[in-house]
Structures are given as C-alpha cells and as structure tokens.
Amino acid sequence: MGCDYNIELFFRVLKQGCTIEQLRLQTEQRLLNALAMYLIVAWRIHNITMAGRAYPAVPCEVVFEPQEWHTLYTMQHHCHPPPTPPPLREMVWSLAQLGGFFARQGDGEPGIKAIWQGYQRLHDFIYAIDTYRTVKA
C-alpha cells in the first residue's frame, strides 16, 4: 500500500472516528488540545490496523498492552488468557468484532471503522472491570 493510501486512512480516522470536523470548541487552545489528543488516538488506530495486516503472526503485544489483549481474549474465548500472547491478527479481528465486524469467510481484513469502534468498546469494558475491582476491594 502506498504512502498516499496510509495518509488517507489516517485522516479518515480523524474525520470519521474522532469526528474532528464537528468539534465546536470555544477557544483556539481547546481546539489545539483536542487535536493533539485525537492525533494520538488516530495514530493508534491506524497503527493497529496496518500492523495487523502487515504482521499477522507476530505476538499481539507489539501493539496491545497486556490488559487490552487479556480482556479481548477473555471476552472472545470465555476463559483465562494464555501465558504467551496470541498472534496479532487474532486480536485485531477480535477487536474489530467488538466494533461490528462479522469476520465471515470472504469478508477480508477488518476496516478502520470497526477497529475504531471496537477499541472504544474495549476501553469501556476495561474501565468497567477496573471500576468493579476497585469497588469490590
């Protein structure tokens, strides 16, 4: 894939995933702060998507934090995660399925939108689990 395609995907995440065009912030500084945060998020989603396609067999810890892939694995397989990280492609597909990707035979690789939505949902689940553990303790 060419550089132009990657740039287009990156800006698609910014525009559609982060909805930066809809920001109605009252000051320039607030807009710059929001853009700085969204640039990091967009880069993260783009990195997960492209790494999952380019390096499907590497351990998923190259892009996922242990808490992220452990939560994904547990949700997908309904059991404790293995001691060694599963392949990146498996975790990217699990993430995309949280975002609405069907993962049917012939569907191809998951897109940016499904990964973006799955990543949001994953972090909602992680937050809920952390909150439950804090309250329970």
- Look over the chain and give the mean of its residue pLDDT values, rounded to a whole number: 91
Query: What are 78-124's pLDDT values in tens digits?
Result: 999 999 999 999 999 999 999 999 999 999 999 988 999 999 999 99
Determine the length of the chain: 137
CA nearest to 19, candidates 6, 34, 5: 34
Q: Is 19 left (phi over 0), alpha (psi -120 to 50) or beta?
A: left
Q: In the chain, what percentage of residues exceed pLDDT 70?
A: 98
Q: Please say if the pLDDT value at position 17 is more than 90.
A: no
Confidence class for position 6, pLDDT limits 50, 70, 90? confident
Helix 112-136 and helix 88-98, axial crossing angle in degrees, nearest 10:
90
Say yes or no: domain 3-136 is CATH 1.20.1070.10: no
At residue 3, the pLDDT reads 67
**Range with lowest mean pLDDT among 2-11, 68-77, 118-127:** 2-11
Q: Please say if the pLDDT value at position 1 is more than 60.
A: no
Q: Please say if the pLDDT value at position 5 is more than 80.
A: no
Per-residue exposure over 70-97, b if at least 16 CB sit within 10 Å of its own CB, e if not? bbbbeebeeeebeeebbebbbbbbbbbb
Question: Hey, how many other C-beta atoms are within 10 angstroms of the C-beta on 128?
Answer: 10
Partners of 87 in beta bridges: 59
The domains of the chain are located at 3-136
At residue 2, the pLDDT reads 63
Q: How far apart are CA 37 and CA 109, in angstroms?
A: 27
